[in-house]
Amino acid sequence: MVEDIVDSILFDIKDKVKIVPIDDLTAFDAPSYTLQQVAKLLIARNFSDDSFYVCLDSKNFFVRPLEANDFFRNGKPTAKIEPLSGGIHLELNANYSNMFSIPPLKEGDLVMGIMTPFIIHSGIARSLVRSVEERYGKNFSEIFCRDSVQSEFMLYSTYLRYKGIDPTEFYADWNNLNITMWFMNYSSNPDVAAWMKWAKGLDPAVMAIHRTIIGTLDEQQYLDYAVFMSSLGLRPVKRLYFES
């Protein structure tokens, strides 16, 4: 059933997109979640050195018309600029800073948020892959996947610093281009529909709700969520997908 739906979608968009199988990017064997992070950097080889590309996750959906220029402000690509938080983000920053032998950032320093939409400069991403492989003499995928926790976006922004590029200067803050509901939002406000209506009022171009949240909703919460999605002309994520 799921395969039939995917085949139908691919048929509808076959003339508008190019499908690149993960096997064309890397033959390394790793969990799919990790490989999709690798793919977001390795896909840069499909673009020219001076271009940008946008990474999206399955949780992202567009809520108003959007053009390529909307991802730029004053000639700069946009990103979520925010203070570096503690915990895993601080650990990732320390790990990747050590990889490139540069001082780690401190908690509270401004960084690029590691969330989608995430705009990557293709030439820098290609240089990053080459640099890692030359430093360690191994395949990029193998090096990236060796850690128990990874972030392709934190690695990319750390490499910018290694190259002497301040990510918070190279990128402009995206000003609510995207709003995402994370687990911490849900735990403090389980009314998903109300949260989405509030978020929509901020006029983002892209919204996201972590899909595992959908499986935790009761019947009324899910109905409210589905009605809101339908009001946007979007199909709600089916709960059955998470219950199977």
Encode pLDDT of 194-228 as tens digits.
Answer: 888 888 888 899 988 877 787 778 888 888 888 88
Predicted confidence band of residue 243 (pLDDT cuts 50, 70, 90): very low
**CA gap 51, 123 in Å, rounded:** 7
**CA gap 12, 109 in Å, rounded:** 45
**CA gap 186, 193 in Å, rounded:** 11
* pLDDT given for residue 218 in this prediction: 82
**CA gap 170, 172 in Å, rounded:** 7
* pLDDT given for residue 190 in this prediction: 65
Predicted confidence band of residue 1 (pLDDT cuts 50, 70, 90): very low
* Whether the predicted pLDDT of 128 surpasses 80: yes
pLDDT digits (tens, 9 = 90+) for 150-180: 999 999 999 999 999 999 999 999 877 888 8
Helices (H), 137-239: 140-145, 152-162, 167-170, 183-188, 192-201, 211-214, 219-231
Cβ atoms within 10 Å, residue 169:
10
* pLDDT given for residue 136 in this prediction: 94
* pLDDT given for residue 31 in this prediction: 87
3-class secondary-structure state, position 102: coil
Of all residues in the chain, the percent with pLDDT exceeding 70 is 88
**CA gap 244, 110 in Å, rounded:** 41
Q: What is the pTM (predicted TM-score) of this model? A: 0.86
* Whether the predicted pLDDT of 105 surpasses 90: yes
* Whether the predicted pLDDT of 16 surpasses 50: yes
Predicted confidence band of residue 2 (pLDDT cuts 50, 70, 90): very low
**DSSP letter (8 states) at residue 49:** T
Q: β-pairing, 60-62 with 206-209?
A: antiparallel
* pLDDT given for residue 192 in this prediction: 81
- On whether the CB atoms of residues 119 and 53 are closer than 8 A, the answer is yes
* pLDDT given for residue 244 in this prediction: 40
- On whether the CB atoms of residues 108 and 84 are closer than 8 A, the answer is yes
Chain centroid to CA 161: 20
Is the peptide bond prior to 117 cis by the omega test (within 30 degrees of 0)? yes
* Whether the predicted pLDDT of 30 surpasses 50: yes
* Whether the predicted pLDDT of 6 surpasses 70: no
Predicted confidence band of residue 55 (pLDDT cuts 50, 70, 90): very high
- On whether the CB atoms of residues 78 and 112 are closer than 8 A, the answer is no
**CA gap 142, 130 in Å, rounded:** 13
* pLDDT given for residue 110 in this prediction: 95
Token digits of residue 5:
């739906």
**CA gap 240, 149 in Å, rounded:** 29
* Whether the predicted pLDDT of 132 surpasses 80: yes
* pLDDT given for residue 93 in this prediction: 96
